[in-house]
Amino acid sequence: MKEIPHGLIKGRVTGRTEWTDNEFSLRINAPVEPYLAGQFTKLALLNGAGEWVRRAYSLVNSPNHKSGHQDMEFLLISVSDGELSSQLRNLQRGDTVYVGKQAAGFMTLAEIPAHITDLWLLSTGTAIGPFLSILDELETRTRFKKIVLVHAVRTKAELVYQSKIEQIADSYKDKFVYIPIVSREQCAGALRGRIPQLLQSGLLAESAQVRLTAENSFFYLCGNPDMVKETSEQLVLLGYKKHLRRKPGNFSSENYW
């Protein structure tokens, strides 16, 4: 067995959920350091040539959930010919997987300017994961007046975690709005199209019944880098500013590739 690289520790798969043929969730237990909702860590395995392959994956559960932060959940898609995701797809309960001891990332509640009242969480595909972690935090429920979760996927089957989203809706009451977008098939109750165009046309705000304002709104964008780029451009056209720690603004993002 090759030496475990610095920063990785041994973990064990404790369960999995199948969503579609190539989308699944893995539950993994490992003695990791505490993390913040919205952060990501590394998962790693050895490849056929005996080399370590590691990639970033976001935590789906809040660090404050009842079985503790060392019980982690991840939402994954197996990318065709993907070196690591195709291996992760085969993991079963009891298997070993290596995990980053320390999580990272700035897509957290602490980075959102204190005066913001309306939080927009815009995701594609598996990038809904870190937003579910953020939504599991009591601080999110108490701090904001409105939280809009937008999840854009190709097909209805990829609208994952429906029962968790229902629980969130129950606990947040009228503070929470969920807007599914399905781009490649008809789906009752979902919008059709893409996030940047739905922002531009005003349909996203109209569906959420939340008014966008530079004073009150903050957007986190996560997932497909083309969505992130085009949505950022659209937000700038609408008069919003990219958020920087030294210069507070309205939006911030995380690219998945």
Ligand X SMILES: NC(=O)c1ccc[n+]([C@@H]2O[C@H](COP(=O)([O-])OP(=O)(O)OC[C@H]3O[C@@H](n4cnc5c(N)ncnc54)[C@H](OP(=O)(O)O)[C@@H]3O)[C@@H](O)[C@H]2O)c1
Site for ligand X in 2-61 (CB under 6 A): none
When CB distances are held under 5 to 8 angstroms depending on the partner's kind, the choice from ligand X, ligand FAD, none that residue 194 binds is: ligand X
When CB distances are held under 5 to 8 angstroms depending on the partner's kind, the choice from ligand FAD, ligand X, none that residue 40 binds is: ligand FAD
CB of 83 to ligand X, least distance (A): 12
CB of 256 to ligand FAD, least distance (A): 4
Tell me if residue 119 falls in helix, strand or coil: strand
For residue 232, give both structure tokens. Answer: 């950022």
Residues that bind ligand FAD (CB under 6 A): 40, 55-58, 74-77, 79, 82-86, 125-126, 129, 254, 256-257
For residue 70, give both structure tokens. Answer: 């060392």
180-186 contacts: CB < 8 A, separation 24 or more?
180/151, 180/152, 180/153, 181/150, 181/151, 181/152, 181/153, 182/153, 182/154, 182/155, 182/156, 183/152, 183/153, 183/154, 184/154, 184/155, 185/154, 185/155, 185/156
CB of 53 to ligand FAD, least distance (A): 6
First-to-last alpha carbon distance for the chain, in angstroms, is 30
Question: Which residue sits closest to ligand FAD, CB atoms considered?
Answer: 82
CB of 188 to ligand X, least distance (A): 17
Number of shown-chain residues binding ligand X (CB under 6 A): 17
When CB distances are held under 5 to 8 angstroms depending on the partner's kind, the choice from ligand X, ligand FAD, none that residue 6 binds is: none
Which of residues 132, 195, 198, 222 is near ligand X by CB under 6 A? 195
When CB distances are held under 5 to 8 angstroms depending on the partner's kind, the choice from ligand X, ligand FAD, none that residue 227 binds is: ligand X
Contact 45, 84 (CB under 8 A): yes
Which of residues 27, 55, 89, 194 is near ligand X by CB under 6 A? 194
Give the CA count within 13 Å in the CB-facing half-sphere of 214: 11
